[in-house]
Chain A
Amino acid sequence: MTKSAKAENALELRDLSVAYRVAGRNRAVLRNLSLNIGQGEAYGLVGESGCGKSTVALTVVRYLPRNGSITGGAISLDGQDVMKLDAEALRRARAESVSMVYQDPGKALNPSIRVGRQLTEIFELGGITGKAVEDRAVAMLNRVRISDPTSVMQRYPHQLSGGMQQRVAIAMALANDPSMLILDEPTTGLDATVEAEVLDLIAQLRQELSASILFISHNLAVVSNMCDRVGVLYAGMLVEEGPTEVVFNDPRHPYTVALLRCLPRGGQRKDQGRLDTIPGFLPGIGVDIKGCAFADRCALADDRCRSELPPLYDLGGRLSRCFYHEKAQALPRATPSDVAPAPKAAAVPVLRVAGLNKTYSSHGHALRAVKDVSLDLRPGETLGLVGESGSGKTTFARLLLGLVPPDDGGTIVLEGKALAPRLENRSDDQIKAMQIVFQNPDSALNRSHSIRHLIGRALKRLAGLSGKALEARLNDLVRSVRLTDRHLAVKPRQLSGGLKQRVAIARAFAGDPRIVVCDEPTSALDVSVQAAILNLLADLQSKEDVSYIFISHDLAVVRYLSDKIAVLYLGRIMELGPSEDVFSGPHHPYTEALLSAVPKLDQTETARIRLDGEIPSATNPPSGCVFHTRCPRKIGAICEQQEPPLSEAQPGHSIRCHIPYEELARLQKEVVTEPA
């Protein structure tokens, strides 16, 4: 592309306002948003869901949904006024100078067209023909580090893993050498190991390409690793902006301060203090905001904040929209940090699992989803289950609950009594003793029923209550998960994600359970809401002495809540031990790789261990140690031939690896992996 002279900024938004028309009324989503992205710069946009991040991305190329309109301001792309472009010029701009990569690569690719065809199409539109098209496509796939491009081009999107799909989507976005690349949550649906891969790729491509990047993410750590500058968006307004490191290490807006405090960091644990939360809710879309948008949730706010919109103060290379930006970090905690001392876990386990297996049959092949899992859980203890998707975490949880019957032979013993493999054959006391909080409350709560019915029914069935007693217990329960009476009459869809998850937690606790399985309970939630839910779970645990089996892909969250960790890979326990030992190491090479993949806010540049390739198919697991195909510390033929036993390296800490514990300790000392 030959452009006479590059404009100073790749993208300039000037006083941009965008509204969505809902029920006959224009509702403001973006309010006088101004920002610049320099040539070759990577700019991160962060904020909670509903604050307008994705709207910014769509507005840049005027790609708003039908009910959306730009109500004011200017957009300039490489010096070109986007608002003045006619349909054809706009089409060209979208085709040639701006590219987007979305969250879900599975939806961005056409499922019925081969990957190669989808790629070559872009070059053909650009006027290239014949053999050259094919070559360009191969070159593009090489560029996104796909090792055998010709075979990938023959495949359909569903035949590729999530990481591969996202690489292809990135290749397509880069095909026309765009000057502006918009990445909207590009790694959100991916496993940590795959996320690390994709982020590395984007970082490498930045060196090779001239493109400027607008990187949108709710994940502060990802943005802090990827971007030069960051803007914090709240209720459609920029509240803080500046160089990434400066903003995250020295935030000058109470919202940024509060957001950073919600994250469990630096190996924080539940017994060391509660996470801070942000009280209240994001203002609804389109409400009139007189003063500072954050004033209602800000402990520093006074009358001035509520009546007068603060300007964007220029603090020398950085901006903050707060009257009290110099004392923003003095923001009082919304949640006291003190915690009640956790009761000492009793020695007698509440749950003993021995030799649990689950084999599915898939097209005539045996698929071993869970293989020979044995572990104990004591009262009041949390067991964290970690591993990539497909490692068998959820299947294991479903086996425990009886939703899926295990293979013959294994035993599950709850409070000294063996549990029947099937739910139907378990006693009422046994089912109420083990309940679950599902990942997605929209799926877990029946949308036809009111909150009162949902919790009331659980109390009736699990606690055997009725009439006055039920009513009294219902009120207690609702209050213990910090809901109020006015939430009872509504249906789930009228509640926010965090409130729905509280209802699900209340329901799980209805029958005074001994064990609650939490299957990614916070992964669909914003960080401030996640913090509140984690605090709630920790409080309920210390009050009720309940045990948790906590599944999450977010290692910092697992570490915060767990006393004990089991690392799963292809249905096998690779490492099992006390949380602190597993995280601080020496640990199994797989654990080491998982920990190293997590993007961290407090980044000290460390050599990272990358896992190549994908988790192998469980229908045809590798011989010997199942991890040997991806293991960065493979020692030789023994790894391919013999499956190592899960041997106790330290009291209570077992590792399934041929490398002796002392050797692991020595190897891992060389690379100091910063804990999550």
Chain B
Amino acid sequence: MSAVQTTSPTPDDTRKRGPLAEVLLSLLRSGTFLTGFAIVMFWVACALFGEHFAPYDPLADDIINALAPPSAEHWFGTDQIGRDVFSRVIVGSRDILTVAPLATLLATVAGTALGLLTGYFRGLVDDVVSRILEAFMAIPVVIVALLAIVALGTSKTTVIVVIGLSFAPIIARTVRSAVLAERELDYVAAAQLRHESAAHTMFVEILPNVIPPILVETTVRLGYAIFAVATLSFMGFGIQPPSPDWGLSISNNYGMIGGGFWWTVLFDALAIASLVIGVNLAADGVHGALND
């Protein structure tokens, strides 16, 4: 009698998998996510092990071979002091892939806390905090960075703090709107009817249910953070020489384009573009998987 088992309280066997397993499964089925993930993983591998398979030392100059065009020896050519561009592009992912994720993490933690606070308490707390966050969002990142450098000096930490704090209000806004919707659900009233503390209600009851939008926002912000790190480095406020960082390289070499030495800039620019596209594709995939 096969039908007896089917009359269990979980009649539909697709429901037996946990929500996490379902999300992972749908990520693995998403071409968008897999493409993006592959690109990002490529650069992560370069950051971790680049030194070992880069053909040259990215910092070693070779002034005789300066500004050599791409060739079998130097696939991407050499820069103005003869450093191998290919090796520099590969190892150049290291700093940006440390700074951007850490900045995003800081933004996510701070933004989630602020979003929970404003969305849960509403009223005066929300009004005051939200106005401050809005004012903060109105200041361009570059100006914040300038001020921070004056105050803190240039370092990776400064970049992380600047980008992290600039992105936190944006994440806070997303979390707040998700929390506002959750707060209307009866399980929050049920928690109040147990005299739960505000902290318990926020972090144990509500937070697990707003993880999906936070995850999506984080991956999207990571793309922007990479872009912002590259921009700050290009402007000289970010990662400092002698790092082979992409933004920094472009900044050092863009004057050469006029002389026809395009390879000193193009490959770094493509690297930045591919990483941002990779992160955005992965973010799209995550968004799709969580909103099915």
Identify the A interface with B (CB < 8 A). 22-23, 280-285, 287-290, 293, 295-297, 306, 401, 403, 423, 428, 431, 435-436, 438, 440, 443-449, 457-458, 461-462, 487, 490-491, 493-496, 499, 507
Contact = CB atoms under 8 A, between A and B. Distances in A.
Nearest to A428: B195
B2 A290 contact: yes
Contact of A487 (B9, B19, B195): B9
Interface string B19-62: 10000000000000000000000000000000000000000000
A283 B77 CA distance: 68
B11 interface: yes
B131 interface: no
Interface of B: 1-4, 6-16, 18-19, 185-187, 189-190, 192-196, 205, 208-209
Nearest to A22: B14
B192 A444 contact: no
Given A281-B11, A447-B209, A461-B196, A440 B190 contact: no
Contact of B194 (A23, A403, A431): A431
A285 B187 contact: no
Of B6, B192, B196, most A-chain CB atoms within 10 Å: B6
Contacts of A458: 194
B199 to A, nearest CB: 14
A285 B209 contact: no
Question: Among A23, A280, A287, A436, which residue has the most Cβ atoms of chain B within 10 A?
Answer: A287
Contacts of B1: 296, 306
Contact of B186 (A23, A444, A462): A444
A499 B145 CA distance: 56
B73 to A, nearest CB: 52
B11 A284 contact: yes
Nearest to B190: A444
Given A431-B194, A440-B186, A444-B187, A280 B10 contact: no
A416 to B, nearest CB: 21
B151 to A, nearest CB: 41
8 contacts: A281-B11, A283-B11, A428-B195, A444-B185, A444-B187, A461-B196, A462-B194, A494-B16
A407 to B, nearest CB: 20
A457 B15 CA distance: 25
A359 to B, nearest CB: 19
B196 A507 contact: no
A297 B6 CA distance: 12
A491 B18 CA distance: 9
A507 B195 CA distance: 14
Contact of B7 (A281, A285, A290, A440): A281
A435 B193 contact: yes
Given A443-B185, A446-B205, A284 B12 contact: yes
A393 to B, nearest CB: 16
Contact of A436 (B8, B185, B193): B193
Given A306-B1, A446-B208, A448-B209, 16 more contacts: A22-B14, A287-B2, A290-B3, A293-B3, A296-B1, A296-B7, A423-B193, A436-B189, A438-B186, A443-B185, A444-B186, A449-B208, A461-B196, A491-B18, A495-B9, A495-B10
Nearest to B196: A461
Closest 3 CB pairs of A and B: A284-B11, A448-B208, A444-B186
A573 B47 CA distance: 73
A289 B3 contact: yes
A296 B193 contact: no
B182 to A, nearest CB: 10
A234 to B, nearest CB: 13
Contacts of A287: 2-3, 6, 11
A435 B191 CA distance: 11
Given A295-B3, A306-B1, A462-B194, A494 B186 contact: no
A493 B15 contact: yes
Contacts of A431: 193-195
B194 A457 contact: yes
Contacts of B15: 493-494
Contacts of A23: 14
A361 to B, nearest CB: 15
A295 B13 CA distance: 21
Contacts of A22: 12, 14
A400 to B, nearest CB: 11
A419 to B, nearest CB: 13
Contacts of A490: 10
Given A490-B10, A494-B15, A494-B16, A283 B3 contact: yes
Contacts of B16: 494
Given A281-B9, A431-B193, A461-B196, A445 B187 contact: yes
Contacts of A493: 15, 19
Contact of B187 (A403, A443, A494, A495): A443
